A and B are shown apart, each in its own frame.
Chain A
Amino acid sequence: MSKARHNPLNSFAAHAALIAYTLIALFPVFVILINSFKTRKAIFRDPLALPDGDSFTMIGYQTVMKQGDFFLYFQNSMIVTVATLFFVLLFGAMAAFALAEYRFKGNMLMGLYLALGIMIPIRIGTVAILEMMVSTGLVNSLWALILVYTAQGLPLAVFILSEFMRQVSDDLKNAGRIDGLSEYTIFFRLVLPLVRPAMATVAVFNMIPIWNDLWFPLILAPAEETKTLTLGSQVFIGQFVTDWNAVLSALSMAILPVMILYVIFSRQLIRGITSGAVK
Chain B
Amino acid sequence: MKKSGIKWHVVVFLAPAVLVYTAIMIFPLFNTLRLALYTEVDQVRQFAGLDNFRTLFGDAHWSGQFWNALGNNFWFFFVHMIVQNPIGIALAAILSHPRLRFAALYRTAIFVPTILSFVIVGFAWKLILSPIWGITPDMLKAVGLKWLYAPYLGKEEYALTTLALISVWQFVGIPMMLIYAALLTIPEEVLEAGEVDGITGFSAFWKIKLPLILPSIGIISILTFVGNFNAFDLIYTTQGALAGPAFSTDILGTFMYRTFFGFQLQLGDPHMGSAIASGMFGIILVGVCIYLFGIQTRLRRYQF
Contacts and interface: CB of A to CB of B under 8 A. Distances in A.
Interface of A: 1-5, 11, 14-15, 17-18, 21-22, 24-26, 28-29, 31-32, 43-44, 47-48, 87, 90-92, 94-95, 97-99, 102, 104, 110, 114, 116-117, 119-132, 147-148, 150-152, 154-155, 158, 182-184, 187, 208, 211-215, 219, 230, 233-234, 237, 244, 247-248, 251, 254-255, 258-259, 261-262, 266, 269-270, 273-276, 278-279
Given A214-B119, A254-B119, A131 B20 contact: no
A266 to B, nearest CB: 5
Contacts of A1: 93-94, 97, 201-202, 204-205
9 contacts: A1-B202, A25-B109, A31-B124, A119-B222, A122-B29, A187-B13, A208-B115, A213-B233, A251-B124
Contact of A22 (B18, B110, B273, B285): B110
Contacts of A92: 17
Interface stretch (B53-61, B98-106, B156-164): B98-106
Contact of A5 (B17, B93, B99, B107): B99
Interface of B: 1, 7, 9-10, 12-14, 16-18, 20-21, 23-29, 31-32, 35, 87, 90-91, 93-95, 97-100, 102, 104, 106-121, 123-125, 127-128, 133-135, 138, 169, 172, 177-178, 180-181, 184-185, 191, 195, 200-202, 204-205, 216, 219, 222, 226, 230, 232-233, 236-237, 253, 256, 260-261, 270, 273-274, 277, 280-281, 284-285, 288
B28 A128 contact: yes
A150 B114 CA distance: 22
Contact of A237 (B12, B95, B118, B119): B119
A22 B94 CA distance: 13
Given A120-B29, A214-B118, A251-B123, A2 B181 contact: no
A258 B113 CA distance: 11
A216 B67 CA distance: 26
A152 to B, nearest CB: 7
B21 A120 contact: no
Contacts of A21: 87, 91, 110
Contacts of A233: 119-120
A94 B119 contact: no
Given A21-B91, A104-B7, A258-B115, A91 B17 contact: yes
A231 to B, nearest CB: 8
Contacts of B273: 126-127
B118 A212 contact: yes
Contacts of B25: 117, 122, 125, 151-152
B178 A148 contact: no
Contacts of B125: 28
Contacts of A116: 26
A94 B106 CA distance: 37
A25 B112 contact: yes
B233 A125 contact: no
Nearest to A186: B9
Contact of A94 (B17, B108, B274): B17
Given A2-B200, A102-B7, A87 B13 contact: no
A130 B270 CA distance: 10
Given A3-B201, A122-B29, 11 more contacts: A1-B94, A11-B100, A32-B120, A91-B17, A119-B284, A126-B32, A127-B35, A128-B31, A131-B31, A132-B28, A184-B12
B233 A214 contact: yes
A3 to B, nearest CB: 5
B116 A255 contact: yes
A247 B169 contact: no
B174 to A, nearest CB: 8
Nearest to A212: B117
A127 B116 contact: no
A270 B111 CA distance: 9
A1 B204 CA distance: 8
A13 to B, nearest CB: 9
A254 B116 CA distance: 9
Contacts of B180: 274
B94 A94 contact: no
A125 B111 contact: no
A97 B11 CA distance: 11
